Amino acid sequence: MDKDELYSVLFLCTGNSARSIMAEAILQHHGFGKFNAFSAGSMPKGKVNPLAITVLSKMNHATDKLRSKSWDEFSSEKTTINMDFVFTVCDRAANETCPIWPGQPMTAHWGIEDPDQPDLSEEQQLKLMEKAYWELDHRIKIFTSLPLEKLDKLALQEHLDNIGKTNKDLN
């Protein structure tokens, strides 16, 4: 993959309130100067989970521009952004029929357990949110270290798929 400009990456989740939002913030940080990160949901909740903001702030990520939004913003004919990569981070979004993305991006599923579980205590939810953060952080660091410009599409797809299979129990 040869590219002179920034790679555009979209993280998808159903609600776009926690996992995909965290992935966007993490890639904006680790991929600065090489990647533009975005997130969206098939059925966005319309607000970012406050515990996701708590975890991101604790880890010194910028959160002021994060918002829950529909994937329609990136799949419509009105978009000016051609994605290079689209990653689903929840199993539900991975099983949905996705729109056709401009730019024919490479795709992979990086499933992360849903930390937004209102039936749990706030402390339990915070632990799940932190676990999701560290799993995403680990996978995104692997992704940003790939020599994208030196890999052919088949080799790159294998790497992207394998990142989604990395150890989910990091803590």
Q: What is the DSSP string of 102-125?
A: TT--EEEE--------TTS-HHHH
Of 12, 13, 18, 163, which one is the catalytic site residue?
Answer: 13
At 85, the amino acid letter reads F
| pLDDT tens readout for residues 69-116 | 998 888 766 677 889 999 999 876 555 566 767 778 999 999 999 998
CB atoms within 10 A of CB 43: 14
Determine, yes or no, domain membership for 24: yes
Query: Is residue 12 domain-resident?
Result: yes
Q: Which is more confidently placed, 146 or 166?
A: 146
Do the domain assignments include residue 40?
yes
pLDDT on residue 35? 96
In a domain, 148, yes or no: yes
Catalytic residue among 81, 98, 142, 151: 98
Residue 168 lies in a domain: no
Position 143 confidence tier, pLDDT thresholds 50, 70, 90: very high
- pLDDT value, residue 171: 46
- Does the annotation count 132 as an active-site position? no
Stated as kind and residue range, the H or E segment containing 10 is strand 7-13
| 169 inside domain | no
- pLDDT for 118 equals 87
Catalytic residue status for 90: yes
pLDDT tens for 4-57 read 689 999 999 999 999 999 999 999 999 988 999 999 998 999 999 999 999 999
What is the span of the domain harbouring residue 41?
7-163
CATH at 127: 3.40.50.2300
Residue 171 in any domain: the answer is: no
- Count of domains for the chain: 1
The answer to whether position 57 is within a domain reads yes
Q: Is 116 a catalytic residue?
A: no
